[in-house]
A and B are shown apart, each in its own frame.
Chain A
Amino acid sequence: MPIAGGIVFGLVILSAIFGPMLVPYGPGDQDFSRVLKPPFWQNGGEIKHPLGTDMMGRDIVSRLIHGARVSLFVGLVTVLFSCFIGTWLGMASGYMGGKIDSLIMRLTDIQLSMPYILIAIAIIGALGPSIKNIILVIAVTNWVGYARIIRGEVLTIRQMEFVEAAVVGGCSTLRILSLHILPNVANSITVLATLDLGRVIIFESAFSFLGLGVQPPTTSWGSMLADGRIYLTYAWWLATFPGLAIMFTVLGTNLLGDWLRDTLDPKRKRYVIL
């Protein structure tokens, strides 16, 4: 299973990088003589457009491959951001304790008790839809999970002798955090980030689906799905394939994350990713 996850995710990455050079059509290439063609195995479908065309005669396969770029880009950048914020706040909270700890933990409480989808939609409504804002909003709402788990780990690590030794040796807090504690939570961060990636990809596509994310002419899986929803009764393939693309990508990252957790974490702690 983990191999399958790695393969699926690897394929998505490869097609995102090299796919656009290989496919014969651009994501915006319209052909009004071939509008709403079904996939090739159905009556009226042609092998030129294996998964059919949309209402403007654009090739679904080409659009899916271009869409992979957007989803992966947004996913990776967002995870990097929220992981960075969450890790540092979590380490500071766990290591320093006291007022800083309570402040950060209350912040996570507040964040966790808010209906984040509504909040995110409200912020995007205010800032205007764009890739940049999507990344910003998800990163700002998503760091909490990292902070909480990293804090918990640091609480144990900070009592270990090598940390005491570093303190006695006169290391600054920043040095202790980045050189002594960070390497010890690196495994957890890797696992968390991998499992988070899928979630963020779903988030991005949900926003694009609601028309609040990636804007045309850029193609994204979420906006393809939104187009497909309008034509649901005539053209089932429009909404079906982008969803499958999202699901398999996320499945790939989830399997990969599960495998990483089992491999990197012999004690088998269980993270609850929400």
Chain B
Amino acid sequence: MGSYFLRRLYHSFIVIFGITLIIFVITHMIGDPVSLLLSPEATQADREQFKHELGLDRPVHIQYLVFLKDAIRGNFGISFRHQRPALGLVIQHLPATLELTVAAMILSIVISIPLGVLASIKPGSFLDRAGMTFALFGQSAPVFWIGIMFILLFGVKLRWFPVSGRGGIEYLIMPAMTLALFSTAAQTRLTRSSMMDVLDKDFIRTARSKGLMERRVIMKHALKNALIPIITIVALQFGMMLSGAVITETIFAWPGVGRLAVNAIYNRDYPVIQAAVFVTSALFIFINLFVDVIYTKIDPRITYR
């Protein structure tokens, strides 16, 4: 376990290294911040001076090494637009994104796992059909459209919830439902199929034939064994939500990292883009590492070498 963990940690560092390279390449393709930030009347000398201040006149590989060195120290530079450290800006917007993502995650787990389990117990029942139809539509509907439909229905027609911004729980409900929909659908289907696999197994028959209550068979014997693929997908979905929050945040004007990053892209504010992508990726890697550790706790059969 110890050595496995170390190796995973090592791989994570390689991945983070690769990510810094990609971030660097992309942000340098985005374009010249000099012509964006200086007025068109600026003289050539002004431009050169400004380039020098930003370090943009140095060779590309040196720029990358400098970028890497600074990134390790958490220094992504000063936002061109906000005139504040980029990392600080991202961290300041992080709670909003986490609030939205965690709320959506909880919502989707609370709905999908019971629904999937109930559907698997009685395949072909009304609940099973209704649940699977919901899941099929949920996986097929574009998130941004669902968000707009929620706004139309609950915001404009019924006026139950505010349509944009962040505040109390009433602000959170619509964005969280929007963000949760796809994951809920995917997890419901996976829980159902994972449970059905397990319910076919001999040990379930044994458990039933020794007279255990059905409820105990389902909860203790079946669900516990069906959890591994479910946890895998939940973890992956969490990472996808961090990324998918970009669109949800844009629609609901939710002041999170995603919206910050999209605006930074429109403004060619690359310190902020770099910091936002880096923080989101690092979080995602951390979550996956954490999940790997959790596996061994849930299923002692899994040992890592």
Contact = CB atoms under 8 A, between A and B. Distances in A.
Contact of B149 (A113, A115, A240): A240
Contacts of B144: 205-206, 209, 225
A205 B277 contact: no
A115 B281 CA distance: 6
Interface in B266-305: 266, 268, 273, 276-277, 280-281, 284-285, 288
A246 B258 CA distance: 24
B22 A125 contact: no
A122 B140 contact: no
B186 to A, nearest CB: 8
B75 interface: no
B152 A236 contact: yes
A232 B148 contact: yes
Contacts of A115: 242-243, 246, 277, 280-281, 284
B258 to A, nearest CB: 7
Interface residues of B, number: 57
Contacts of B243: 115-118
B29 interface: yes
A38 B7 CA distance: 61
A243 B142 contact: yes
A198 B251 CA distance: 22
Interface in A236-250: 236, 239-240, 242-243, 246-248, 250
B190 interface: yes
A239 B148 contact: yes
Please classify the interface of chain A as helix (H, G, I), strand (E, B), loop, or mixed, using the class held by over half of its residues: helix
Given A116-B243, A118-B246, A198-B140, A106 B148 contact: no
Contacts of A122: 26-27, 30, 265, 273, 277
B148 A121 contact: no
Contacts of B239: 113
B141 interface: yes
A109 interface: yes
A264 B136 CA distance: 21
Contact of B140 (A119, A121, A126, A251): A251
Interface stretch (B13-21, B46-54, B209-217): B13-21
B84 interface: no
Given A232-B156, A254-B139, A210 B250 contact: yes
A270 B30 contact: no
A265 B159 CA distance: 49
Contacts of B15: 106, 109-110, 113
Interface string A142-178: 0000000000000000000000000000000000000
B18 A247 contact: no
A119 B26 contact: yes
Interface string A47-83: 0000000000000000000000000000000000000
Please classify the interface of chain B as helix (H, G, I), strand (E, B), loop, or mixed, using the class held by over half of its residues: helix
A250 B141 CA distance: 8
B225 interface: no
Task: Name the residue in A115, A242, A254 with the highest tally of chain B Cβ atoms < 10 Å from its Cβ.
Answer: A115
Contacts of B117: none
Interface in A213-250: 225, 228-229, 232-233, 236, 239-240, 242-243, 246-248, 250
Task: Name the residue in B14, B15, B137, B276 with the highest tally of chain A Cβ atoms < 10 Å from its Cβ.
Answer: B15
A255 interface: yes
A117 B145 contact: no
Nearest to A273: B186
Nearest to A125: B265
Contact of A210 (B151, B190, B261, B262): B262
A250 B140 contact: yes
A100 interface: no
Nearest to B30: A126
Contacts of B285: 113
Interface in B124-148: 136-137, 139-146, 148
B283 to A, nearest CB: 9
Task: Name the residue in A121, A239, A255 with the highest tally of chain B Cβ atoms < 10 Å from its Cβ.
Answer: A121
A123 interface: yes
A121 B246 contact: yes
Contacts of A210: 247, 250, 262
Interface string B36-72: 0000000000000000000000000000000000000
Interface in A172-201: 198
B145 A109 contact: no
Given A106-B18, A126-B31, A272-B190, A247 B141 contact: yes
Closest 5 CB pairs of A and B: A243-B145, A115-B243, A110-B18, A251-B140, A126-B29
20 contacts: A113-B19, A114-B284, A117-B243, A117-B244, A118-B262, A122-B273, A125-B265, A202-B142, A206-B142, A206-B143, A206-B247, A209-B142, A210-B250, A229-B148, A239-B149, A243-B145, A246-B142, A247-B137, A250-B140, A274-B186
Given A106-B18, A109-B11, A239-B148, 18 more contacts: A113-B19, A113-B281, A114-B284, A115-B284, A116-B243, A119-B26, A122-B30, A122-B273, A123-B29, A125-B30, A125-B266, A127-B29, A210-B247, A210-B262, A232-B152, A240-B149, A242-B145, A254-B139
